Structure 1
């Protein structure tokens, strides 16, 4: 059974990793880089502080950071050294079948994906707190595309992404539960009363979407000028 699952995982990787094109190569490499999302993170922080105030917003941001840190430590500090499963790009018996982008191979072990754990932890906890449909849809889409970029680049198997995302989701719900349990319910259920309290939250989706579009057009024009 385990061998069947491993073979299925490899077949899915080859299917999802095999659709290579120079446009998607560079776009997925950009999406996978954490530095490319600094503007988005800054906007997210600003929107939360503006909407919930410094006290409530600060607590929310601390919770988001803790969920990301714990998710990352579970993925990279526990699972990877425990299971020691080679990344597809690093497996000596399999790497020759994987399409790599710009020679990028990542670290030695890949189970589980810290990218998936971190992005889903952030997206789910923020969605649970913000309670805004448009922003929640964007955040989950963002987590999915960031996670998929790791498969496209050939540095993670689908199972790495699946288990990593489950870790992030689990930590997000745990963080939300602790917020509800140990702090006043009003602390996370309602934003600060302002003329348009949710107006700033929509900017999270807008700025993030614009980043996607700008990265895509930058890569497109780079190869078509």
Structure 2
């Protein structure tokens, strides 16, 4: 069963990694997974929260940081070492099939911390702002999906890694948004 899943995952990985290969994606998708590319968005969210919500903005930003920290700790420090799955770009059985679009890294693959963190943040923001701004739902989910898809395209994660990260991140975002709503100050 597990071997069949790994075979399916490797085949799907190659269909995305090699099958969607084109010069535009080769330029765009490495940017989409780069944290510095998204720095202006992160800064906008922080400034928006402080300007729009004043004192309450500190709580929102604090919970965003907690959401990110929980996602990163669970994916990178807890689950990855336990799972011990090699990244596709480091898998010797795929060595002739990998297109090196970004440095591979030496860490483990399952689950994707990028997917976990971005889905956690996206879901937290959706639950926080959906009542006031409905477009946040498709925009935030598309943002997290593009970052997750980019991880597969550049060759550092298998599709199951990003799907597991998306599920884990969604659960974390749901949990932290519920905690925030219970603990939020009445300002």
The equivalent residue for 1:222 is none
The equivalent residue for 2:114 is 115
How has the CA–CA distance of structure 1 residues 183 and 48 changed in structure 2, closer, same or farther, with 3 Å as cutoff? closer
CA contact (8 A) 1:90 1:108 kept: no
Aligned counterparts of 1:58 and 1:49: Cα–Cα separation in 2: 7
The CA RMSD measured in Å over matched residues stands at: 1.5
CA contact (8 A) 1:87 1:155 kept: yes
Residue 54 of structure 2: SS of its match in structure 1?
Answer: helix
After superposition, the C-alpha distances for 1:108-132 in whole angstroms (9 at most, x for unaligned) are 3111101001110111100100112
The equivalent residue for 1:179 is 180
Aligned counterparts of 1:24 and 1:180: Cα–Cα separation in 2: 39
How has the CA–CA distance of structure 1 residues 179 and 108 changed in structure 2, closer, same or farther, with 3 Å as cutoff? closer
CA contact (8 A) 2:76 2:113 kept: yes
Query: Which consecutive residues of structure 1, in runs of 5 or more, have no partner in the other structure?
Result: 188-225
The equivalent residue for 1:29 is 30
- TM-superposed CA distance for 1:92, in Å, is 1.5
1:100 aligns with 2:100: yes
Alignment of 1:5-154 (within 5 A): 5-18=5-18, 19-51=20-52, 53-101=53-101, 104-131=103-130, 132-154=133-155
Aligned counterparts of 1:93 and 1:15: Cα–Cα separation in 2: 16
Aligned counterparts of 2:172 and 2:62: Cα–Cα separation in 1: 14
The equivalent residue for 1:155 is 156
Aligned counterparts of 2:28 and 2:174: Cα–Cα separation in 1: 31
- TM-superposed CA distance for 1:106, in Å, is 2.5
After superposition, the C-alpha distances for 1:151-204 in whole angstroms (9 at most, x for unaligned) are 0001100010011111111111111121233345x66xxxxxxxxxxxxxxxxx
TM-score by length of 1: 0.77
Once structures 1 and 2 are overlaid, which stretch shifts more, 122-131 or 17-26?
17-26
Query: How many pairs were matched up?
Result: 184
Query: Which consecutive residues of structure 2, in runs of 5 or more, have no partner in the other structure?
Result: none
TM-score by length of 2: 0.92
- TM-superposed CA distance for 1:22, in Å, is 2.4
CA contact (8 A) 2:59 2:184 kept: no
